[in-house]
């Protein structure tokens, strides 16, 4: 069975840690694809309040799946 796991963090280092922890518990051959995205949002009320969202979706085969 194909499944997805979605990660979303405010800092790219936190995203990297979360993904690496997840990848350490599944066999490499079960990873189908990894999609990565960055979103940026400026706060209209403050020049110094830019928000970042670093996200990734891992598509993988669930362990024990024959398909």
Per domain, the residue ranges of the chain are 2-61
Quote the CA–CA distance of 57 and 33 in Å, as a whole number: 8
b/e per residue 11-33 (b: at least 16 CB within 10 A): eeeebeebbeeebeeeeeebeee
pLDDT at position 3 is 97
Q: Which fold has domain 2-61?
A: Dodecin subunit-like (3.30.1660)
Q: Mind listing the pLDDT tens digit of every residue in the chain (67 residues)?
A: 999 999 999 999 999 999 999 999 999 999 999 999 999 988 767 667 888 899 999 999 997 644 4
């Amino acid at each position: 069975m194909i499944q997805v796991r979605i990660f979303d963090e405010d800092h790219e280092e936190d995203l990297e840690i979360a993904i690496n922890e997840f990848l350490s518990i599944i066999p490499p051959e079960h990873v189908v694809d990894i999609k990565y995205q960055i979103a940026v949002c400026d706060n209209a009320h403050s020049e110094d309040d830019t928000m970042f969202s670093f996200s990734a979706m891992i598509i993988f085969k669930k362990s024990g799946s024959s398909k």
